[in-house]
Structure 1
């Protein structure tokens, strides 16, 4: 990549150098990768690309650049609004947050967050939630849903946006993301997998005039085996859009990193859709375009005051094409990718709704372009109810995610006539109003979601207190986070304490936590630890309910004799009450499992996963722990956590038996040769006439609205430059010759052979207890000894049973793919099986520390009562 960041497109002579890239640690590189690969060579997308390319060939230059960027922040109903090409029938496209529901809207569902969904370990439920979310976004007229999120991966336990993803494991994230994409796109909405890539903390994430954004420095193998893994599965699921992250990777900003966008994403993973920026993440013009960026959101540049409506694209992109600094086929491919995704989801259908809400106001009428000094007004909110029966899906997710960590003396489920004393403000709704804090930027009342752009407005909040009321429970509630002096403990009382830990996005600071948990660390908020201890000192039976964004420390109170039960209810969205009651009172057995490890102290983690503080110049965050995050690290370091990844109790018991393993696809040390790329659209490289960029006659301009047109003189002067014999000084390593592609590619997600099933595994699960319940079978792979260092165990698949009656059985089918048994070889730049013919251990159980059933690939047999290699 270039060592300088260039603003503007007019020419290299007039471009302004705004910053220099700081050096990164030796060995961490972002090599140039050019040109941007054409899309359309995957058969599943060929028809959509054909339709898109025909349309693009008939569009003017200004029309093509107009659909590659937003019209400006606050310049339309949605959080992002592309330009249109109305002459050829393409409307503005509406882009809208967020991963758990339609942000800043009305009559929508506030679904449980993804970290809650991951805690269900239920593939069917993950997809059903995706369908419901897709239906709501479509019903609101949104074209592009800004979710799901699989980055942050959860490397840093205090990272602010971990809760927007599905857990601290690439495979759990991969299933969560891919199944969500399938559900969302099944109803015609374009999903956006984000944030690409290694976006693991909130502080210092963005570039500014005075400081570059944080650089995530990671090696090639760690990139492929951890952080790229869930994106590969999202691409394999056919995702229409990828959002690039704010940060740099190995010193090069993601938004202009050709290795990431052109090399990894579009060529190796075969991504066919379009790449967009995160909001205001674009820091350059020409370098971004050449590096593979397709869409700039919301259109403005982040380096100058937004009031000027300045854009690095739109009109500057138009100028760049005319003056030859961006090849015509680069723009044509971007426009075609955007429209191909539009066609792929069937959004050209006349019944696809237009936006009927306004993310900027809850009023029925208002300015059409709120960011403008003078704006026409009209109806902006039509209050369309899109909730349907989605509350049932949301409640089921919230309920089946509840993770029972401890249940001494069988205190749960509660008897119907229990006398309860309830403590903690988290038990009841925010007294200021459930949506009183913009983007949920506070921790008041029941914590249903973290804060930031990944939040949504609640249509209502079914709080735990509402739940107790609906049960006609005998309770006394103390709406305080300090132990009250008047609770009058009785020996027959059961105390229920509600506590929280919150986090969110960096543009909001809550209780001195600027997104990441910098002030609270991994402690409970609002002196929750003290509240639990004070209650435990007065009551002999205490149940702790935790609403949390991620790992917390529990050592101050976990082992107190009166603390009988601990439940993690995670982030339940609007359905916090009834879902919890169904578990507390035993309507259903809890079936959630932890999507991360719970430590005994922050010192249990590697030092490198701590938050990166202030550094002069570009903050450097070097991933020296490599593959060893979360449970992988705990296993390697022989550290016993408070609770292991995947842990979760039930009111019943299960046995795993009659396991079998069978070889399906014969393996070779390297995958079969990738298929060749299919045919792609043919693009002209001839610079179009300047007249295609002129302002239309009698055009009514809106101040601050970003347009793609040029004044006649500007267009003519740019065209003169483009017609000169000299050429633009492209980046080092630049070529305009399309590549055949790396051998690790060949299809969506990579070489299709990587996803061949190598072994099929089945196991019979029996409910050996006295209550109905659901069990989760988790499958981990143990690699044989080889020249490659590999984690002791790695999650590779999971399945959840239906609700089993006492004595009932169900046979679950799981699989291990070629990729599951491979490592990334940095020398050959391919996936290889490091010990072909060696004995891979396929371990089954209900948690990462509860694996007693082993199948061997060498013997083709399975045995129970085995000692896990991660036992400590």
Structure 2
């Protein structure tokens, strides 16, 4: 808030939005408890030197310079989607923050990589990392400081959720490996990665706070939060991620951007996060409350209601709030130090780190420097730097190795190079209006390579399936229509290849009546895809269906038709849709993708709590009554056989898993060993600075209209200081304190207590190619808790996976998997710690090709392994 003087309305608004308040509509038992103060960063040894360097800069900053660093300069007020303030006198530059998870958004000469869901389908940790490196190189090449990705939230709880495709799959461990390997790759080249969105933003509609309605409240219990939704964030923090973005929604009634339980307790204390926390764009809804709750940076800086007039909750208001004593100097110093230390941690203080050389607002070489202002100066804004390198190779490898063969009757695939093909469906060819004709991919025309929204990127080109057929010299006839053409006459030996898709995206764009989430299409194919397949299957005896999709779809209308011989999910391949598919369907490479989610037979297979939330008076309430039971966990508990199980994926060959051994590594105890104490943190003066530190500088050049500045008019700064002197007090939220604490028992290092990641058991398995073609197998490891536990646990849960090299027929490879202490623990809501519920119990360690293809079991009690065992599901 701007000062200690409040109108009755503003005071009520402040209290209703405070970080410990919960809506009256939140069901009983779902509470977001207050947690103060925001823990200081810098106590982790991995960050000591970066914090030391940062403290030297921060100690030299004025109040206005510090508050400037914490905020964006306004929407469309610079080249990047987010542009922070700077402190050039102290040696700290403006930071460029840019979308998105699959490539540089709104740029040129960049790669449009396969989406996260496609990467998850590879089940390949090396490719996850390689893509991260390539993405990092492109963002660095464009001069971006902060990459706004990867995404591990939403987790994919709701099958129709609009942004599920940005993440890696509907399992926390698959998401965790995808997220952490991507973070490590991005940051290996000096770009700050941002893990997002914390947390439980599982649908698009009603996600945002606005003048008419509070953002949707995701109501979930502490155990579910830890064991599912927080799990991938913990792994990203353990990998040293530099930034975390908060979600738009509320959790248990408290907005994520100012939820002290989430930011201060879970993220900064329990997970030991050392970087900085930012809001999503226009997700910040208060000033003081968000600062106290641990928010370090607000983006793009404007207020969330009507971001048109240069108004901000921070910037000049942050300066005012420090001068009048509302926000402790200590909190501001820590926020700034976290931002500056992350910059040092990635080596961005190097003179070789490039400046932004593109403009996300235009593809023109010259334009306004501040497009959000009516009176902006103009200049060169785009230097057309080509950052693609050889990244198309990585993109193509991912697109190919993600392709998931679901059905292959009579081994119709691979196709003979001379096969006579009839190709159907507009998804087979590029958008006829132009590959980048729809803003942020906000349409479904042509080959679906990515969903829509801020997670998209412009294509440098699209290698479509039709391009692939052409390059192969295939014998094909293409019917570029989604209705069965009357001029398609089957002839002997024809094989029909049908391309269909299902799309989704972010809520600010509605495509074919789907406002982000798949509300109109449900889990059906778009463009009457079901009917197209049925009509083709009625005329042709051999049909191959190729699906580009954001997530699960229903196959029942056509899957079992006698003519439908093969079904391939190519997911979202980005720019490399063509050759990647050709390598699979013509047999250059055996398919090795596996489903990163379950495919149901009906939407009724899911619990009602996974339905999208519709309009509600007041704050919409989304209560996670299913708890731990999402995706395959639910199907197993409900004893429902899906159409295809999580992890399913066929090959042109077959594999066996044998000769397994289990080796104890760490002796387990019920509770992990006590955490280490926090290291020392930076010490600054806590004295409130003089009002003069926030005065507008003398002879300041022309102010840009709508640009956000951190300075105050002299009278405003003096009045704020006078309020402090007069003893006016701020109504701090319940539970507020400014005394630093030792931190929770579950903490102790980045990612949590390091003992959680101790390896409890290693499992060695021999994977043998028992078929006739070369191929790669995925060994998936699932843990089954002892069956006599008092605590409820899912039947099996994915805990590790490894992909073999390409094995020739008859060849074998020994793979190593591991199970950690955390993998065998549950979150105890009373002890507030991870607990091994049965130290001496018999945990089943299952290894196989999918969640429903497990026949090899190792037992922790006998420490032996057996093959040919009946699957637990």
TM-score interval for Structure 1 and Structure 2 normalised by the shorter chain: over 0.9
The number of residue pairs the alignment matches comes to 863
What is the rounded CA distance, in whole Å, between the counterparts of 1:36 and 1:468 in structure 2? 57
Q: Structure 1 stretch 626-635 or stretch 712-721: which is displaced more?
A: 712-721
Q: CA deviation digits over 1:497-549, x for unaligned, max 9?
A: 00000000000000000000000000000000000000000000000000000
User: Is the Cα–Cα contact under 8 Å of residues 687 and 722 in structure 1 kept in the other structure?
Assistant: no
Tell me the CA shift for residue 309 of structure 1.
1.1
Partner of 2:866: 863
Matched residue of 1:307: which SS?
Answer: coil
Equivalents in 2 of 1:703, 1:194: separation in Å? 31
Q: Does 1:217 align with 2:225?
A: no
SS of the residue corresponding to residue 621 of structure 1 reads: strand
The answer (yes or no) to whether the contact 1:22–1:617 under 8 Å persists in 2 is no
* Corresponding position of 2:841: 838
> Residue 798 of structure 2: SS of its match in structure 1?
strand
Structure 1 SS opposite 2:77: coil
Q: In the alignment, is the contact (CA less than 8 A) between 2:4 and 2:728 conserved in 1?
A: no
Distance 1:115 1:301 in 2: 33
1:483 maps to: 484
Q: Which of the residues 815, 818, 823 maps onto 1:815?
A: 818
Note if 1:851 corresponds to 2:828. Answer: no
Partners of 1:451 and 1:240 in 2: CA distance: 26
Does the CA contact (< 8 Å) of 1:140 and 1:357 recur in 2?
A: yes
Q: Report the counterpart of residue 343 of structure 2 in structure 1.
A: 342
Instruction: Say whether the 8 Å CA contact 1:11–1:323 is kept in structure 2.
Output: no
Equivalent positions of 1:257-296 (< 5 A) are 257-296=259-298
Deviation at 1:11? 4.0
Residues 70 and 298, structure 1, Cα contact 8 Å, conserved in 2:
yes
Contact 2:159 2:551 survives alignment (8 Å): yes
Alignment of 1:711-790 (within 5 A): 711-784=713-786, 785-790=788-793
Shift of 1:23: 2.9
- Alignment-derived partner of residue 625 in structure 1: 626
| Equivalent residues of 1:9, 1:285 under 8 A apart | no
Q: Which residue in 1 is equivalent to 2:206?
A: 204
User: Which residue of the partner structure matches residue 803 of structure 1?
Assistant: 806
C-alpha contact 1:491 1:540 (8 A) present in aligned 2? no
Pick closer, same or farther for the CA change 1:374–1:186 going to 2, 3 Å: same
Q: Could you give the per-residue CA deviations for residues 273-303 of structure 1, whole angstroms, max 9, x where no partner exists?
A: 0000000000001100000000000000112
Say which is worse superposed, 201-210 or 681-690, in terms of deviation.
681-690
* 1:57 counterpart = 2:59: yes
Kindly provide the CA deviation profile for residues 214-269 of structure 1, in whole angstroms up to 9, marking residues without a partner as x.
Answer: 00000000000000000000100000000000000000000111000001000000
Residues 90-105 of structure 1 aligned to structure 2 (within 5 Å): 90-105=92-107
1:123–1:176 CA contact under 8 A, matched in 2 = yes
Partners of 2:139 and 2:147 within 8 A in 1 = yes
Cα distance in 1 for partners of 2:124, 2:384 equals 33
- Once the two structures are TM-superposed, the CA of residue 568 in structure 1 deviates from its matched residue by 0.1
* Cα shift at 1:12: 4.4
User: TM-score normalised to the size of structure 1?
Assistant: 0.98
Cα distance in 2 between the residues matched to 1:8 and 1:175: 43
Distance 2:92 2:7 in 1: 36
Gap change, CA 1:537 and 1:9, over 3 Å in 2: farther
Contact 1:464/1:576 (<8 A) preserved:
yes
**Are 1:844 and 1:851, in contact at CA under 8 Å, matched by a contact in 2?**
yes
Cα distance, 1:421 vs. partner?
A: 0.2
- Quote how far apart the aligned CAs of 1:723 are: 2.7
Separation in structure 2 between the aligned mates of residue 753 and residue 539 of structure 1, nearest angstrom: 59
Residue in structure 1 matched with residue 496 of structure 2 by the alignment: 495
Deviation for aligned residue 1:58: 0.7
Alpha carbons 1:10, 1:323 under 8 Å: kept = yes
Cα deviations across residues 53-83 of structure 1 (Å, max 9, x unaligned)? 1210110000000010000000000000000
- The secondary structure found in structure 2 opposite 1:136 is helix
Per-residue CA deviations over 1:615-655 (Å, capped at 9, x if unaligned) read: 11000000000000000000000000000000000001111
Separation of aligned partners in 1, 2:497 and 2:730: 69
Asked if the contact 1:196/1:242 (under 8 Å) is kept, the reply is: yes
CA–CA separation in structure 1 for the residues paired with 2:4 and 2:654: 69
Which residue is 1:80 aligned to? 82
Aligned partner (choices 792, 796, 802) of residue 793 of structure 1: 796
Deviations 1:192-214 (A, max 9, x none): 00000000000000001110000
Match of 2:190 among 173, 188, 191: 188
Check conservation: 2:826, 2:836, Cα contact below 8 A: yes
State how far apart, in whole Å, the 1-side matches of 2:99 and 2:656 are. Answer: 42
Query: CA shift at 1:722, angstroms?
Result: 2.1
Cα distance in 2 for partners of 1:256, 1:811 equals: 48
Q: Structure 1 residue 826 and structure 2 residue 829: aligned?
A: yes
Shift of 1:90: 1.2
Task: Tell me what 2:128 maps to.
Answer: 126
Q: Deviations over 1:325-366 (max 9, x none)?
A: 000010000000000100000000000000000000000000
Which of the numbers 128, 145, 148 marks the counterpart of 2:147? 145
**Aligned mates of 1:199, 1:9 — CA distance in 2:** 33
The whole-number CA distance in structure 2 between the counterparts of 1:65 and 1:16 is 24
Per-residue deviation, 1:868: 1.2
RMSD of aligned alpha carbons: 0.9
Residue 454 of structure 1: how far off its partner (Å): 0.1
Contact 2:592 2:776 (C-alpha < 8 Å) held by counterparts: yes
Aligned residue runs from structure 1 range 617-766, under 5 A: 617-699=618-700, 700-766=702-768
What is the rounded CA distance, in whole Å, between the counterparts of 2:730 and 2:600 in structure 1?
A: 55
The counterpart of 1:66, out of the listed 57, 65, 68, is 68
User: What's the CA shift for 1:8?
Assistant: 4.0
- Residue 551 of structure 1 aligns to a residue in which SS? coil
Q: Distance in 2 between matches of 1:692 and 1:281?
A: 29
Contact 2:208-2:283 within 8 A present in 1 as well: yes
What corresponds to 2:463 in structure 1? 462
Cα deviation for residue 9 of structure 1 reads 4.6
Shift of the alpha carbon at 1:43?
0.3
2:180 to 178, 187, 192: 178
Q: Tell me, yes or no, if structure 1 residue 434 matches structure 2 residue 435.
A: yes
| Shift in CA distance, 9/103, structure 1 to aligned 2, threshold 3 Å | farther
Q: Give distance in 1, aligned partners of 2:115 and 2:669.
A: 40
Tell me what 1:507 maps to: 508
Q: 1:4 maps to what in 2?
A: none
- 1:301-450 map, 5 Å: 301-303=303-305, 305-450=306-451
Listed as ranges, the gaps of 5+ residues in structure 1 are: 1-6
How far 1:491 sits from its partner (Å)? 2.5
Q: Secondary structure at the match of 1:627?
A: coil
- How far apart, CA to CA, are the structure 2 residues paired with 1:802 and 1:684? 57
d(CA) in 2 for partners of 1:864 and 1:56? Answer: 61
Q: How does 1:583-622 map to 2 (within 5 A)?
A: 583-622=584-623
**1:306 partner SS:** coil
Alpha-carbon distance, 1:556 to partner: 0.5
The residue aligned with 1:560 is: 561
CA distance in 2, matches of 1:45, 1:17: 41
- Residues 8, 284 of structure 1: 8 Å contact kept: no
Structure 2 runs not aligned, ≥5 long: 17-22
Structure 1 residue 698 displacement after superposition: 1.6
Contact (CA 8 Å) 2:57, 2:91: kept in 1 or not?
A: no
Q: Within 2, Cα distance between the matches of 1:332 and 1:723?
A: 22
State whether residues 4 and 730 of structure 2, in contact with CA within 8 Å, keep that contact through their aligned partners in structure 1.
no
Q: Which residue of 2 aligns with 1:528?
A: 529
Residues 456 and 9 of structure 1, relative CA distance in 2, 3 Å threshold = farther
Q: What are the superposed Cα offsets for residues 370-429 of structure 1, whole Å, 9 maximum, x if unpaired? A: 000101100000000000000000000000000000000110000010000000000000
